[in-house]
Amino acid sequence: MEGATAVGLQELATRATGGDARAMELLLVDVRRMVLRYCRARLARVPGADHAADDAAQEVCLAVVNALPRYRDEGRPFESFVYGIAAHKVADVHRAAARAPLATAEPPDAPDEAAGPEEVALRRSEADRARALLEHLPDAQRELLLLRVVVGLSAEETGRALGMTPGAVRVAQHRALAKLRTVAQREDAAALEAEERAGAPVAAAAPALPVPAATTTAPLRRRRGRGSR
C-alpha cells in the first residue's frame, strides 16, 4: 500500500472517525488506491472490466465513509475492514454480471501502443490462463495471491488484511503457488497428450489407403484370362 504506513492508515481512520475532514480526505486517497487494484484484479473477466472496477472502487469508498462512524479500533487492522467491504462489493458485481445478458466484449480502454498485435494477444492469453488457474484454488488462497501478487501488498500488509501473521502469509503463498504449478503442469501434459492422439490416426491411415486396390484387382484379371481359353 502506497502513501501511508499501516500505523498512519490506522491513525487516519481514528482521526476521520472523530470528524477530522483532512484525515478523511487522505484516508480515502489511500483506500481508493488499494481498493482499485483489488477490484481490477477480481473483476478482470467481467464485461466492461475497467468501468466495473472503477465503479466498484467508488462504491467501496462510499461504503467505507458510511461505515466509518461505526468503526472501532479493537485490534482488527483497518485494511481488513476495508477489504471485507471490497470483497462483498466484488461479489455483488459478479452476481449482477451472471444475471445480465451476455454482452459483446469491449476493447481495452488504454491499449499499450508500444506493443504489437502479437505481443498484446500473448499478454491477454497469459493473463486469461493465470486467472483460470486461480479458479482452481480455494477462496482463501486465491484471495491471498491476489493481494500479494496482483495488488502488490507486502506479506505484512496482506497479513493485516486477512488477519494472519507475515510468516503464515508466506507459507500459504508458497503452498498456493506450488498447487498452481501442479495444476499448470497437469493441464500442459493433458493438452500435449490430446494433440498427440489427434495426430496419430491420420499418420497411420495415410499409407494404408492404396494397398487394398493393388491386392484385389490382379487376381480378377487372371481369372478372366483363364476363362477365355
Query: pLDDT per residue over 39-64, tens digit each?
Result: 988 888 888 888 999 999 999 999 99
- Find the domain containing 122 and state its range: 118-199
Is residue 39 located within the same domain as residue 93?
A: yes
The answer on pLDDT for 156 being more than 80 is: yes
The verdict on residue 111 lying in a domain is no
Report the C-alpha gap between 167 and 76 in whole angstroms: 18
Give the per-residue pLDDT at 198.
Answer: 80
The verdict on residue 162 lying in a domain is yes
The verdict on residue 207 lying in a domain is no
- CATH number for the domain including 23? 1.10.1740.10
> Cell numbers of 59, please?
462504491
Is residue 87 located within the same domain as residue 134?
A: no
- CATH number for the domain including 145? 1.10.10.10
Domain final residue pick, 100, 126, 142: 100
Count other C-beta atoms under 10 Å from residue 23's C-beta.
Answer: 17
More confident residue, 7 or 44: 44
The answer on pLDDT for 14 being more than 80 is: yes
Indicate the range of 11-20, 53-62, 191-200 predicted with least confidence: 191-200
Q: Are 139 and 125 in contact (CB under 8 A)?
A: no
The residues, any chain, with a CB within 8 Å of residue 87's CB and separated by 6 or more, are 143
Domain final residue pick, 100, 133, 159: 100
**Total domains, the chain:** 2
The verdict on residue 217 lying in a domain is no
The verdict on residue 216 lying in a domain is no
Is residue 93 located within the same domain as residue 127?
A: no
Of 43, 41, 51, nearest to 109 by C-alpha is 51
**pTM (2 decimals)?**
0.62
The verdict on residue 229 lying in a domain is no
Q: pLDDT-based confidence at 200, cuts 50/70/90? A: low
Q: pLDDT-based confidence at 114, cuts 50/70/90? A: low
Read off the pLDDT of each residue in 170-187 and give the average, rounded to a whole number. Answer: 91
Give the per-residue pLDDT at 192.
Answer: 83
Is residue 141 located within the same domain as residue 61?
A: no
The verdict on residue 211 lying in a domain is no
Q: pLDDT-based confidence at 126, cuts 50/70/90? A: low
Is residue 94 located within the same domain as residue 150?
A: no
The verdict on residue 106 lying in a domain is no
Is residue 153 located within the same domain as residue 67?
A: no
More confident residue, 81 or 71: 81
Q: Are 4 and 34 in contact (CB under 8 A)?
A: no
Is residue 4 located within the same domain as residue 70?
A: yes
More confident residue, 220 or 94: 94
Q: What share of the chain is helix, strand, coil (3-state, %, to 5)?
A: 80, 0, 20
Read off the pLDDT of each residue in 8-37 and give the average, rounded to a whole number. Answer: 90
